[in-house]
Each structure stands twice: as structure tokens, then as C-alpha cells.
Amino acid sequence: MPSADATIPEISYGQLLEESGALSRRLPLDGTIETTFRCNLACVHCYVNEPAHDREARTRELSKERLLRLVDEVVEEGCLEVLFTGGEVLLRPDFPEIYLHALRRGLRVTVFTNGTLITEAMADLFDEYRPACVEVSLYGMTRETYEKVTRVPGSFDKCRDGIRRLQARGVPFKLKTMVLAWNRSELPAMRAFAAELGVEFRHDSMLNARVDCGANRNPELQVTAEEAVAADLGDPAARSRHAASFQAALAEDASPRTDEVYTCGAGQIGFTVDPYGRLQLCQLSRRSSFDLRDDTFARGWHEFLPALRARTWQSGSVCRACSLRPVCGSCPGAAELEHGDIEAAVAAFCEITHRRAHELVGVVAGHRADATCCLGQGGSDRPPVRVAAGGCGSCAHGAPAEPALVQVQVRSRPAASVR
């Protein structure tokens, strides 16, 4: 038995993947559970924010009992880490019970929230039962900008109060923002605020479309490729992170050498479950799903998701052999959400990636900074080379009779072989 002062050796996440054989064994180490799509804010850019008091949406959400069983099921399959998010995850009154159950089952828990519902009682809960991290979204450093984005008067002060409560208790948290045309001028102030608090800050400039058949993003909100890269260059942590990713991808000649469209961890070590019990590859790729309301996570993980992951390229998409694909925001999930077609390119994301490469690592063979090498003349103002199949990216509403992503029928297998 180890002595009381013995330390447990730590390994990196990469070492864990390698030593456990998680990729080859398909261990669902990293899960995302969306408990609700409802939110107390109405952010102009949000990819999912149903009204907080939407009874129909609330009725469709998984019950507390099913969510508790789901936590048990993912743990039994080897899950180590879970993200609880929404919508606004703290909107559900049963959140504390679900959260505590996950902790007691040994999961490393992260919580995404807008911070406005972090009351004294909620902060006390996080203080007594610590999460791995609480990530709070900022939408501006002035009340005018913040509430222009959220469209809810008083939300700025509630968010700042929630952050103050976490800070006072020493709860581990981070700050982040979605860079929009409306708030980009306040990005340095947001970064400075996080530094003052002594917490990590990150930003994202790639704005996705909605997932719920709602209107696509307001074109006034997406910053230009030049502005997105300027935001990266202005943040030392972001610049370093992106530069390392680009250098590694290009130095190792990491351009895709597989016929499979999906090359990330979605469905391989990661998964997403939406509020209505639909098991999906990730938070973006939602067009095909497995219903967990009356079935098990094990069946969905072992039988359904592998069939989706096995999808091979069916077109001559420019993305297929692109050397920048491993570091591009125009992934299959984003393409499906934007166009209803996992092989299409998201032109704005493609241009951002090319400009990042040009600024961070210099000239890349076969590529131009304005992405016209992949998008054709006109850059992101032109449609992607791969023609989209049409229809809503999340549910295929209005799509052609033959969907872009093949639907897979799950076949039963002997119970003894299901873990």
C-alpha cells in the first residue's frame, strides 16, 4: 500500500489515449450531454437557444431519471469526462442532482454556462463539490454591448455577479467569448479582465449556423477572415496554440490519407447526447442520430456511431486532399450544419484557416492566403466548390429525397456481446 505522502504520477491526455488504446478500442472517454436547448438569454448569434419557458421543449427533454441512467451507462462504457451544457444548463432545477450523480460516478465534469444563474446557492454547490471547470461566456465588457448581444436587460450585471461568486470561492473557472462584429472591439478588454482575475480566456471567431431549423446566423455578425486572424494574433495563447497546430500538421505531412470523411475523435472517443435523447457524433453533426429514450447508450455507441464514422468520400470535394484539413474549422460537422452536406466546404472557415496559415507559418505549398486556391476566384464570397445537398443542416427539412448522409439501420446483436 502506498505511503500517505506518495504522489500519483500524472500523464498527458495524449499518453492516456496511447496507453489505453482508446482510439483503436473506441472508448467513449469524452462525452457532451446537452440537458436543455432552452435559455434565459436570447443571444443573436447562438446556435441553439429556445425560450426558457417553452413548455413543448421542456416536455420533450429527457427526464431526470433517464439522465441519471445515461450517466451510469456512459460510465460503464468507459467514459472519463463529461461536459454538461445547453442552452443554459443551470435552467433545469434538477441540475444539481444530475451534476452530483456524475461526480459520484467518478466523472470529471465541466459545465458551460452564461453565468447569469450562478446564484449564491449554485456557487456554494460548486464550492463544496468541485467541477473540473466552469466555463462562463462573455459577450462584451460594456453593458451596452453585452445586452445588445443577449437581448435581455439586466443580464450583464447578473453575469458579472456570477463570475464574482465563483472567484470569491476559488471555484475553477474560465472565461470565453464568441467574437462578433458587434463585440470585437472589446476583445482586448475581455482578455484583460480574465488576466486580472487570474483565469484562462479563449475566443472563437467561427460562427456556426443554428441547429434547430431556425434562421442561419445574421450575416452582420460574422467577423471577416482578416478580423478573425487579427484576433488570434492579438492573443498570445491563441497565437501559440494555432501556430503549434499548423506546424505539427504540416511538418508531419498530416494531410488526410484515408477515404473516411471523419478523421476527428467524434464517434471514436467522443459523443454528444442532445436534450431529447438523440445520440450524435458531435455537437455539429446532428442529421443522423440514435434514440436513447427507449434504448441503451451501449447499442448506440457500438452499433450506430461506427456506421456513421465509416462514411467514405463520395465526391471530388476540394477538402478531401487538402493539407490544411487537420487544422481547418470547415470540418464535416460544420459543413453538415451549414449546408446539409458533410463533404461541402464552409467558405468563411476555409478562408480563415488559409489566412491563419499564411500569418502563422508562412507560405504553404499549394495554398494562397485568400483561399482562392480552394474556393476559386472571389474567396469566401463565392459558393464552396462542393455543391451542398440542401435542406436544414440538423434535421434535413427541405432536403432532396436522397439525403446527403446515409441513414443507418441498427441491427440487433446477441445480448452477451453488448458491454
Q: What is the pLDDT of residue 247?
A: 84
pLDDT of residue 41: 97
State how far the Cα of 264 lies from the Cα of 17, in Å rounded to an integer.
13
Q: Compute the average pLDDT of residues 142-164.
A: 98
CA 237 vs CA 84, 136, 202, 278: distances in Å: 25, 18, 8, 35
β-strand 81-85 against 108-113: which pairing, if any? parallel
Domain ranges across the chain = 17-224, 225-256+321-398
CB-CB neighbours of 179 under 10 Å = 24
What pLDDT does residue 373 have? 92
In Å, how far from its chain's centre is CA 187?
A: 21
> What pLDDT shows up at residue 384?
40
More confident residue, 310 or 413: 310
Structure confidence by residue, pLDDT tens digits, 107-143: 999 999 999 999 999 999 999 999 999 999 999 999 9
Percent of the chain with pLDDT over 70: 84
Q: What is the pLDDT of residues 7-42, one digit of tens each?
A: 667 777 777 777 778 777 899 999 999 999 999 999
Question: What's the predicted TM-score (pTM) here?
Answer: 0.87
Contacts (Cβ under 8 Å, ≥6 apart) of 23: 17, 265, 268, 269
- Which CATH superfamily groups domain 17-224? Aldolase class I (3.20.20.70)
pLDDT (0 to 100) of residue 8 = 64
Q: What is the pLDDT of residues 325-371, one digit of tens each?
A: 889 989 999 999 888 899 999 999 999 999 999 998 888 888 999 99
Distance CA 231, CA 236 (A): 10
pLDDT of 281 above 90: yes
d(CA 163, CA 161): 5
Question: Is residue 171 over pLDDT 90?
Answer: yes
Contacts of residue 177, defined as CB under 8 A and 6 or more positions apart, other chains included, come to: 137, 138, 139, 183, 187, 190, 201, 203, 204
**Percent above pLDDT 90 for the chain:** 64
Q: Which residues contact 196 (CB under 8 A, 6 or more apart)?
A: none
Q: Which of 329, 335, 319 is closest to 256 using CA atoms? A: 319
Give 44-60 pLDDT, tens digit per residue: 999 888 899 999 999 99
What's the confidence (pLDDT) of residue 17? 77
